[in-house]
Amino acid sequence: MSRVFDLHTHSNASDGIFPPAVLIEKASAAGINTLALTDHDTVAGLAAAKIAANKYNITLINGIELSAHWRNKPIHIVGLNINPENDAIINAIVKLNQLREARAVAIGDRLKQVGIHGAYENAKRIAAGGTVTRQHFSTFLIENGYAKNQADAFAQYLANKKPGYVVVDWPGLEETIAQINGACGVAVIAHPLRYKMTATQLCTMIQDFKGLGGQAVEVVTGHTQLAEIRRMADYAKRYDVAASVGSDFHNETTAWNQLGKLATLPSGLRPVWALW
């Protein structure tokens, strides 16, 4: 049987819509047989995902998507095949969720200043105990008629320089990679082409990342066009890092990151799964 990978997905332990067991069921129906659950700054969904993965005969890779900074730019680093019980990763999660909680309060305060009340309380309600993300604020803004859809909520309120944007002092790349490696995982740069970096910045980040013990970059992601896949494949070869594939699936309403629709990895790359 051929192996079909998706190494970047979200459940309702962070900002995905489906509980882990439903995500696994949907992944199975979509033909995926190796799936990493990579919720933002939490491993809370992994135990339930594992039970469902056994039922559907899916290989579950324990994962996480950590919020980080590279040269003051917010980026995401996926950790794959981590030990979720390792102290390094547990400490990282505690710290990141303190930062997220303080940011959520600050976003609520900032939105109040433009006349939008109750955003913090409602984002917490929508997150329902999971990691609070800007996506939960976007749901609140849509529900209350402040935005038409998620893209609009970010464009009007939640993106950089907008009224609800709050700068966070995320941990640096060095600390983040050390935490993933400390938990026996592989560090992967998530969706490298979504940071609006120049080519020089992107190449420098990949080199810094590799120098600090990072091992892979996402080459195939949910929204990438063929030209972007080729570009990331070239960087992976040039800087000799492994290549990952992941949809970044959150829900069924965003067309570009559905389960089971990923392009295959171009030949001549070292796949990230060869590292475990």
Name the site residues for ligand AMP (rule: CB under 6 A): 15, 40, 67, 133-135, 150-151, 154, 159, 250
CB of 133 to Mn ion, least distance (A): 6
Considering beta carbons, is residue 16 or 108 the nearer one to Mn ion?
A: 16
Which span (66-74, 111-119, 197-205, 244-252) binds Mn ion, by CB under 5 A? 244-252
CB of 254 to ligand AMP, least distance (A): 8
Which span (67-75, 182-190, 201-209, 252-260) binds Mn ion, by CB under 5 A? 182-190
| Cβ-contact 17, 40 below 8 angstroms | no
- Measured CA to CA, the distance from residue 66 to residue 253 in angstroms comes to 24
CA distances from 81 to 8, 13, 60, 75, 184 (A): 12, 18, 9, 20, 7
- Measured CA to CA, the distance from residue 139 to residue 130 in angstroms comes to 14
Considering beta carbons, is residue 97 or 237 the nearer one to Mn ion?
A: 97
CB of 227 to Mn ion, least distance (A): 21
CB of 38 to ligand AMP, least distance (A): 10
Which span (17-25, 65-73, 87-95, 260-268) binds Mn ion, by CB under 5 A? 65-73
| Cβ-contact 63, 32 below 8 angstroms | no
CA distances from 84 to 41, 80, 88 (A): 11, 10, 9
Residue 41 binds Mn ion (CB under 5 A) = no
CB of 50 to Mn ion, least distance (A): 20
* Residue 220 three-state SS: strand
Query: In the set 5, 12, 15, 32, which binds Mn ion (CB under 5 A)?
Result: 15
Residue of 245, 256, 261 lying closest to 188 (CA atoms): 245
Residue 39 binds Mn ion (CB under 5 A) = no
Residue of 26, 47, 28, 34 lying closest to 5 (CA atoms): 34
Query: In the set 6, 41, 218, 248, which binds Mn ion (CB under 5 A)?
Result: 248
- Measured CA to CA, the distance from residue 9 to residue 25 in angstroms comes to 13
